Structures are given as structure tokens and as C-alpha cells.
Structure 1
Amino acid sequence: MKLSEIVRNLELNVIYMDEDYEIRGGIVSDLLSFVMAHAPEDSVWVTIQTHVNTIAVAVLTGIKSIIFVSGQNPNEETVKKAKEEKIALLITKDNAFNVVGKLYSLGIKGVDRLQ
């Protein structure tokens, strides 16, 4: 599913989105080490963590987009790094549980990365 379809269906606010990536899976976690170990490539990450380290984790794992939930907003440093690395940043006031349910209903499943 294209990222633009997710944005439209979940009514997400776009902070930064340079490309309309094909999203093949998803992960939800606020623990960076868990995401590093389990995130599939070409995925969307649902989290409340908004600091710049989220971008490093996304680059490391091949995550294409981060959805910040519960009204959390990234700082300027995070947005700047996301633009450099071409990681889409999206926000919603909705909570993580609801966002993941909506993603699942759209066909975005959580799939462990092969290790």
C-alpha cells in the first residue's frame, strides 16, 4: 500500500514526506532496541518517541515512515535529519492502539524481519 493511501485513510498530518513509498509492513514500539531487532524493511513505525534517534533507527532498519501518535511532535533536529535521510514523518492525535488497528484493517501487518 502506498504511504499516501495510509495518510489519507488515517487522516494523518504530514510533517515531511518526500516520496510516496510502498509500505509492506509495520511495527509499534517505543523501545528503540526492539524496533532495531524486529522492524521489517519498507515499513511504517508507530511510536511516541520523537527524538532524533528515531531517525537513526529508521535508517538502520529500512523503515520508510514514522507515525508519531498521541499528539507528539518531533523537534527541529528530528525533522531536519528525517529530510536528510528521506524518512517520512506523520502525526496524529489518535493513540497507538487505535492507529495500529486502523493500519491492520488497511492490510498493513506486523511481520518480523528475517534475522
Structure 2
Amino acid sequence: MKLSEIIEKINAEVVYLSEDCDILHGCTGDLLSMVMKNAKSDSIWITVQNHVNIIAVASMVGIKAIVLCEGLEYSPDTIEKAKEEGISLLKSNESSFVVSGKIYSLGII
């Protein structure tokens, strides 16, 4: 499914959109080592982590987009690094649980 479709269907706010790529998988987690172990390439990552290290993890794994939940904000350093690495940043006021459920209901596994 195209990232733009996911954004519309989960009502996410776009902080930075790198490209309207295909998203094949999803991952929810806040422990970076577990995301590195379990996430697949071409994923969307749902988290409450907002520091610059999430971009390094996403880049290593091949994650294409990150959804920051609970109404949290990305740091300016994180946004800048995401632009350098081409990783889209989204945010939602909803919990990680709710956002994950919405994405899962779209057929993203």
C-alpha cells in the first residue's frame, strides 16, 4: 500500500514526506534493539521514541516511515537527519496501540 494511502486512512500528520513509497510491513516498538531485530525492510514503524537515534535504526533496517504517537514531537535534529536519510516522519495524537491496530486493519503486517 502506498504511504499516502496509509497517512490518509490513519489520519496522521505529515512532519516530513520523503517519497510516496510502498509500505509492505509494520513494526511497533520503543526498544531500538528489538526494532533492529524484528522490523523488515519497507516497513512503517510505530513508536513513542522521538530522538535522532530512531533515524539510524530506521536507515539500517530499511524502514521507510515512522509514526510518532501520543501527540509527541520530533526533535529538530531528528527531522534534519530524517531528511538526510530519506525517511518519512508522521505523527498522531493516538496511542501506539490504536495506530498499530489501524495499520494492521489495512492489511499491513
TM-score range, shorter chain: over 0.9
Residue in 1 that maps onto 2:39:
39
Structure 1 segments of 4+ aligned residues over 6 angstroms from their partners = none
| Corresponding residue of 1:112 | none
State the secondary structure of the residue aligned to 2:36.
Answer: helix
The residue type equivalent to 1:73 in the other structure is E
Q: Deviations over 1:71-113 (max 9, x none)?
A: 111110000000000000000000011001100110011xxxx
1:61 equivalent in structure 2: 61
Percent identity, please. 50
State the SS of the aligned residue for 2:70.
coil
Q: CA RMSD in A?
A: 0.4
C-alpha separation in 1, matches of 2:24 and 2:62: 11
User: Unaligned stretches of 5+ in structure 1?
Assistant: 110-115
Q: Point out where structure 2 has 5 or more consecutive residues left out of the alignment.
A: none
Letter in 2 for 1:60: M
Separation (CA, whole Å) in 1 of partners of 2:77 and 2:66? 15
- Letter aligned with residue 98 of structure 1: V
| Count of aligned residue pairs for this structure pair | 109
1:1-115 equivalences under 5 Å are 1-109=1-109
TM, length-normalised to structure 1: 0.94
SS class of match (1:101): helix
Q: Report the Cα offset of residue 18 of structure 1.
A: 2.0
